[in-house]
Structure 1
């Protein structure tokens, strides 16, 4: 028997997926109506639960942070430092982690969001430390590098375009191509490559974006 809680969780998952898709197409100007339509959720029921667009995006951000943390914990549970890091990165990329970035700076960051984000930073730092200690991650790669890589790979312009065109016939090939690119990127994290250019990116690239001006 489907409970009200089950229905709410199912709707939230659908809304998160829809928000990622619509934000990929429309950016920060994505409308609540477009997200609700994509998710198959009535706009009336949506506004009964979330009074504002900001409240909706805050909830979706929490769900996204939860996924990040769960993926990191799954990675740390793997005794192999490289396999654990790779599992985390693949899980976040395939989930579309970072796709809510367009709303950065447009919504208030709640205490709960901040707490979950700090926990996520701690978990990723430990994944990176383990990999460095084991010598399986190139020494100059930082946690911020990993976070930015996930954000870059979390969106696929090719897949987004094909979905918008309704080219379902090409989506399997596009998904396979994307998996190849993820594998290429992961290989680039291994030791034995030319030094990376410039200085390591700072955490402000994330935190400052989410500060409202």
Structure 2
């Protein structure tokens, strides 16, 4: 009995990971209008079994949001474990971009934020703030760059039109080169965060509410 429960739990975890990856792909194309059927098909999960576990599309997205933030937090913890603050910060950003962090942003404001989502997100904010503070204290991160700037950078970089296009075309011969090209773009963007001579960033720094309050459901 214990072995069967463990096997079912392992299968559920594999399905969740597949659903998260599928949701990231489908949402990048269809936005908030992405259907559960399309996500399930891409993940190779039966729609019937999916609805036996999740009662609604909202419940599915709430669960996937928690998984995504947990991955963010794990990446941040690995960054904080790095001896060099700059290496830790840039490693965190690169990992988040390449794993598709920010892909669930299209559902912001369309689902209710659960206490579990809120707790995971709050922890993520704390970890990122620590990463940024370490990099500032080490003189590695430009002084006018904030944690919200880093969050928004990850969200903007996570989608690569070039990678998406060659994959959609079935050009397997070009995918690796496109991925390498995206890594160069990530490196170029990260270099703009380095402390040193350069023009000041324009305008006032973005507030945390810009990044978080769009998740509040709005009624017409």
Bucket of the pairwise TM-score, normalised by the shorter protein: over 0.9
Q: Paired residue for 1:195? A: 200
Give the length in aligned residue pairs: 213
- Show structure 1 runs of 4+ deviating over 4 A: none
Q: TM-score, normalised by structure 1?
A: 0.98
Q: 1:120 aligns with which of 114, 117, 124?
A: 124
Query: Using the alignment, how far apart are the partners of 1:165 and 1:154 within structure 2?
Result: 20
Query: Using the alignment, how far apart are the partners of 2:67 and 2:115 within structure 1?
Result: 14
1:12-51 aligned at under 5 Å gives the runs 12-51=16-55
Query: Using the alignment, how far apart are the partners of 2:55 and 2:169 within structure 1?
Result: 33
Query: Using the alignment, how far apart are the partners of 1:195 and 1:206 within structure 2?
Result: 22
Q: Paired residue for 2:102? A: 98
**TM-aligned CA deviation for residue 71 of structure 1:** 0.5
Query: Using the alignment, how far apart are the partners of 1:187 and 1:150 within structure 2?
Result: 14
Q: TM-score, normalised by structure 2?
A: 0.95
Q: 2:209 aligns with which of 183, 197, 204?
A: 204
**TM-aligned CA deviation for residue 142 of structure 1:** 0.1
Query: Using the alignment, how far apart are the partners of 2:168 and 2:123 within structure 1?
Result: 35
| Deviation sequence 1:57-85 (CA, Å, 0-9, x none) | 00100000000100001111112110110
Is contact 1:99–1:151 with CA below 8 Å preserved after alignment? Answer: yes
Query: Using the alignment, how far apart are the partners of 2:118 and 2:139 within structure 1?
Result: 31
Query: Using the alignment, how far apart are the partners of 2:78 and 2:193 within structure 1?
Result: 20
Measured on the aligned residues, the alpha-carbon RMSD in Å equals 1.0
| Deviation sequence 1:121-162 (CA, Å, 0-9, x none) | 000001000100000000000000000000011111111122
Query: Using the alignment, how far apart are the partners of 1:129 and 1:33 within structure 2?
Result: 43
Query: Using the alignment, how far apart are the partners of 1:118 and 1:100 within structure 2?
Result: 17
Query: Using the alignment, how far apart are the partners of 2:33 and 2:174 within structure 1?
Result: 28
